[in-house]
Amino acid sequence: MIPDIVHVSSAHPWVDNRVHLREAAAAADAGYRVRLIAVDSDLGAPATAVDVVRIPRRARVRRMLVSTTQALVLALRSRAPVVHLHDPELIWTIPVLRLAGRIVVYDAHEDLPEQVWSKDYLTHPQRALFAWLSHGLLRAAGTAHRVVTATQWTGRRFPAGRQLTIHNFPVARPEDNAQVGLEARPAVVAHVGVLSRDRGIDALASAVRHPSFPSGWRLEMVGSIDRATSVEQLRAAEATGRAVHRGVVGPIEARDLLLRARIGVVPFRRTPVTDQIFPTKLFEYLAAGLAVIATDNPLWRRLLCDVDCVTFVPADDPDAIASAVRRYAEDPDLLARHGAAARRAAARFAWATEAERLVAMYDELLPGVRETRSKSTVDR
């Protein structure tokens, strides 16, 4: 059966939250035939109506040379009229796909030039060179029929008439509706997502070892460790018995962890990139009804200005993080109030509205497809 839409990634695993469980699944739930071409993974994901084709995991250089070509061939063979690309390394395929008569959507998950500048493992001249090259890539990406971006800030790089911002808000789950109050949960501070210097892992690890960190509490983390990040402080925190890194888990396991915690932490450093993004984990914390400790980022403060659920702390300040945890530990009424406010606010930051806007874009690109299929089903 020929799909209507094929989502393509040579870098993201097939269990990826945005690529599969949000965007591809939303299109399939709306009635489109959807295929996903993405990287194999040992992790699991909830069942969806998406037809998944997995390509092998490969090292970076082979991925950019072999996996991108394989993904392109599979996309062309699918005969899907709409090809939705998810990686900067696939930008070169846009003119090929357009020449083949396909409608191309490019998904900019992050701001590429700023992302390059944040790579600590590159030298300054290397970052300058790659940032310059990335601007050329983005001009090429702007030739896609539509560009989907994760934030409005990223969207400034692309033609306004073809750009659509789709935020990474979490998908609502029955488990979230059945959650228990924070007082009935273990004394856990949770961190989900990539562990890196820019995402505040050093400050978080130091906070656990700070004298202000309350006795009987522990930090639980899931997610990959950025390859340029030293793990020395993380291991020192684990040695205290107050912290545990559970490695990489599937998206559902990560969200289940949050339902067994009282506090979620977003300890990002202040950088040009982190100052302009909405971390997915922040919205997942709200959905889980957690009190939140977050870096005092002006963008986040404006976003949650009317939600009394966050303790904002200075960036790179382990003392402030530890003191915030202690304050929640010693004031259960504050903890309960912030958790309840987070749960009420979660409805404002849910995936359903974003899914409707994404499907409306597909309806524009594929006029009449869903209606024709629905009528055909009724006639049978």
CA dist list (Å): 127 to 88, 135, 165, 168, 187? 16, 12, 27, 27, 42
DSSP 80: -
- Helix, strand or coil, per DSSP, at residue 174: helix
Tokens representing 48? 């969806």
Amino acid 71 reads A
Whole-angstrom Cα distance, residue 113 to residue 97? 24
Residues 6+ apart with CB under 8 A from 356: none
Residue 241's CB is within 10 A of a number of other CB atoms, namely 9
Per-residue pLDDT of the chain (380 residues; tens, 9 = 90+): 899 999 999 999 999 999 999 999 999 999 999 999 999 999 888 899 999 999 999 998 899 999 999 999 999 999 999 999 999 999 999 999 999 999 999 999 887 767 666 666 666 677 777 676 777 788 889 999 999 999 888 888 898 899 999 999 999 999 998 999 999 999 999 999 999 988 999 999 999 999 999 999 999 999 999 887 888 999 999 999 999 999 999 888 999 999 999 999 999 999 888 888 889 999 999 999 999 999 999 999 999 988 999 999 999 999 999 999 999 999 999 999 999 999 999 999 999 999 999 999 999 999 999 888 766 655 55
Whole-angstrom Cα distance, residue 325 to residue 135? 42
Residue 102's CB is within 10 A of a number of other CB atoms, namely 21
Whole-angstrom Cα distance, residue 20 to residue 23? 6
The candidate with the shortest Cα–Cα distance to 20, out of 351, 327, 360, is: 351
pLDDT computed for residue 275 by the predictor: 85
Yes or no: say if 23 and 54 are a contact pair by the CB < 8 Å rule.
Answer: no
Which position has the token pair 């949650």? 304
Q: How many CA atoms lie within 13 A of 18 on its CB side?
A: 24
Helix, strand, coil share of the chain (percent; to 5): 45, 15, 35
Phi, then psi, of 314 in degrees rounded to 5: -65, 150
